[in-house]
Amino acid sequence: MDIKSYYSRMNLPEPIVPALQAVRLLKGQTALVTGANSGIGRAIAIALGRAGANVIVNYVARPEDAEEVAAEIRSHGQGAMIVHADVSDEAQVQAMFAAAVREFGTIDILASNAGMERNAPFHEMSVAQWDAVMNVNLRGGFLCAREAVREFLRRGVRPEVSVAAGKIIFTSSVHEVIPWAGHVNYAASKGGLMLLMKSLAQEVAEKRIRVNSIAPGAIRTPINAAAWSTPEAYAEVEEIGRAAVWLASDGAYGVTGQAVVVDCGHLTMPGFNPAPSSP
């Protein structure tokens, strides 16, 4: 399914996407993308496939959507498989990585994208809402990154495909630095993810493992439908996919421990600026 058909089916306006030729920067590599059957994860998985990587498409619901993503990747000549796993469950994450290694021999790239929101005013937020978000957004990132690092260390550098032993890309948010009233659990999870990314990058740099994140602002997906009247303030999911390809490529070899912000300038707007006012 092409981009325009997907957006039409999802009742989204036609995307504003530059006409860029796919470059196979990731030829011979394999990527695992969590939460890859919709939204940002879908775009990352397809972009990595178009760049030459085989892709493991993780999902927790709607396997038919995951298979659609895999079919799109196969149409570009790459291998793809779908794997069901709850990223907050240690055993399921380990089984997912084991299945991926059996199928493709190794994993070179992890795009830890799976995330969720369970919003409520703070005084009304339940422990279940807090735990649900933390378990997927932060614990899930930890579990997947740990398995990826273990595989990278086991396999070592494959100089024929990359000068790095492995690449990890977290999907974070501008709310890793911007407070978000009414979404305290989400913002706290993304703030924690930021320091997970930076601390892990510091720890494994000497092993030639790169760890970065992408911090999207408002992305034009169905969850933001009420605000589409100002499309210039919204990025398309494909922009996140292109950022992931660059971070996974050797063109970004000197980049680790960094958050790449894709936000249409939200951090430059006074209402979004997290810096304290001058006295």
Active site residue 234: no
Distance CA 250, CA 167 (A): 10
Whether the Cβ atoms of residue 207 and residue 147 lie closer than 8 Å to each other:
no
Q: Token pair for residue 202?
A: 């510091």
Distance CA 164, CA 158 (A): 8
Q: What are phi and psi of 100, to 5 degrees?
A: -65, -45
- What is the number of other CB atoms lying within 10 angstroms of the CB of residue 150? 12
Distance CA 275, CA 178 (A): 9
In DSSP terms, 81 is beta-bridged to 56
Residues 59, 186, 234, 253: which is the catalytic one? 186
Q: What are phi and psi of 140, to 5 degrees?
A: -60, -40
Catalytic center residues: 186
